[in-house]
Amino acid sequence: MVSTATRIGDFQFDNCLMNAAGVFCMTREELAQVESSAAGSFVTKTATLEARAGNPEPRYVNTDLGSINSMGLPNKGLDYYLDYVIEEQNRIGSKPHVLSLVGMSPDETHTILKKVQASDYQGLVELNLSCPNVPGKPQIAYDFETTDTILKEVFSYYTKPLGIKLPPYFDIVHFDQAAAIFNKYPLVFVNCVNSIGNGLVIEDETVVIKPKNGFGGLGGDYIKPTALANVHAFYKRLNPSIQIIGTGGVKTGRDAFEHILCGACMVQLGTVLQKEGTEAFDRITKELQAIMAEKGYETLDDFRGKLHYID
Ligand code: RRO
């Protein structure tokens, strides 16, 4: 009997697959669709304090190898998602969920997290330190000093389970420096990776999305090797109490298997979920179960993090 059940901190999930923030999570209706699928959980669209319309369209385009987006953090505002996850938390038989959020400034991030701290919500929160698409705003987690300052302040008042969504890093020294900062704090998880920021896709002679003259975050096949490297780099460097969520380039059971082999305890679907809909959870779960059965693995712990190197 093969199980894809998993845990993050004290939270148990029947399945290790869920949506990635940004896909199928803008409205209650979309979140309810993920909830009623084979997914083990859902994460909400990253919420800011106030609702935002986001960038002008076209702002999300699928390509043969993945996707490019410059959504610009459109969302319905913190209260919309906070009310929903509290409602869900109080519903008998519901799964544990993840509330994604970030402020438009460090001050706003603290205002938001203080609201969540004071609320009835007891579930997981993902602080998005890696949105690549708000004009004039850098990806926070590429600035180690600011990241350290924000986390230090956050953990002076925030006592509920918290994780962070990271951008991909591309240098071994950056893995070392980032991990040294994250290891100072009682983070429950890090999620590797957000989209690869500021790629450019062209059709004929023209960019395919309108914001930022076509520059946007890449997802899908383009990013799987980068995602796997980030999952494994942080798996090797972080305190064992900090778990890894793997996101990036997962479209088959084999891709999910590779993320888990690199150390992920949960795996998120972005581009494939946008392309295929929530049926993707059922298909990819079955493909993952078939690989596990063939290899004689009964649980994720039988192979999680056990990537083989060449001597
Ligand atoms: O809304 C977006 O443009 C967006 C966000 Br917040 C993010 O974290 N990652 C991404 O690819 N797009």
Q: What is the DSSP string of 39-62?
A: -SB-BPPPB-SS-B--SPSS-EEE
Is residue 308 in a domain?
no
Q: Which amino acid, 9?
A: G
Is residue 311 in a domain?
no
Are 228 and 169 spatial neighbours (Cβ–Cβ below 8 Å)? Answer: no
Pocket of ligand 1 (CB under 6 A): 22, 46, 69-73, 128, 130-133, 194-195, 217
Tokens encoding 145: 């000093």
Which residue owns the Cα nearest ligand 1 atom 7? 131
Tracing tokens 């009310």 back to the chain, one arrives at 83
Q: Residues 131, 192, 262, 265: which is the catalytic one? A: 131
Which residue owns the Cα nearest ligand 1 atom 1? 73
Is residue 247 in a domain?
yes
Is residue 150 in a domain?
yes
Number of domains in the chain: 1
Residue 189 is part of a domain; what is its CATH number? 3.20.20.70
Is residue 64 in a domain?
no
Determine if residue 134 is left, alpha or beta; phi over 0 gives left, psi from -120 to 50 gives alpha, anything else beta: beta
Phi and psi torsions of 294, nearest 5°: -65, -35
What pLDDT shows up at residue 1?
87
Are 59 and 210 spatial neighbours (Cβ–Cβ below 8 Å)? Answer: yes
Distance from C-alpha of 282 to C-alpha of 26, rounded to nearest angstrom? 21
CA of residue 141 to ligand 1 center, whole Å: 14
Is residue 67 in a domain?
no
Which residue owns the Cα nearest ligand 1 atom 8? 131
What pLDDT shows up at residue 216?
98
Ordered per-residue pLDDT tens for the chain, 311 residues: 899 999 999 999 999 999 999 999 999 999 999 999 999 999 999 999 999 999 999 999 999 999 999 999 999 999 999 999 999 999 999 999 999 999 999 999 999 999 999 999 999 999 999 999 999 989 999 999 999 999 999 999 999 999 999 999 999 999 999 999 999 999 999 999 999 999 999 999 999 999 999 999 999 999 999 999 999 999 999 999 999 999 999 999 999 999 999 999 999 999 999 999 999 999 999 999 999 999 999 999 999 999 999 99
Non-local (6+) Cβ contacts of 50 within 8 A are 77
What pLDDT shows up at residue 190?
99
Atom number in ligand 1 closest to CA 197: 11
What pLDDT shows up at residue 73?
98
CA of residue 115 to ligand 1 center, whole Å: 22
Phi and psi torsions of 113, nearest 5°: -65, -30
What pLDDT shows up at residue 74?
98
pTM for the model: 0.99
Is residue 117 in a domain?
yes
Distance from C-alpha of 193 to C-alpha of 224, rounded to nearest angstrom? 9
Tracing tokens 């305190």 back to the chain, one arrives at 239
Residue 262 appears among annotated catalytic residues: no
What pLDDT shows up at residue 273?
98
What pLDDT shows up at residue 222?
98
Are 130 and 150 spatial neighbours (Cβ–Cβ below 8 Å)? Answer: no
Which residue owns the Cα nearest ligand 1 atom 9? 131
Distance from C-alpha of 26 to C-alpha of 303, rounded to nearest angstrom? 34
Are 191 and 153 spatial neighbours (Cβ–Cβ below 8 Å)? Answer: no
CA of residue 28 to ligand 1 center, whole Å: 19
Atom number in ligand 1 closest to CA 128: 8
Is residue 232 in a domain?
yes
Question: Which residues span the domain enclosing 145?
Answer: 6-54+72-196+220-302
Distance from C-alpha of 159 to C-alpha of 163, rounded to nearest angstrom? 12
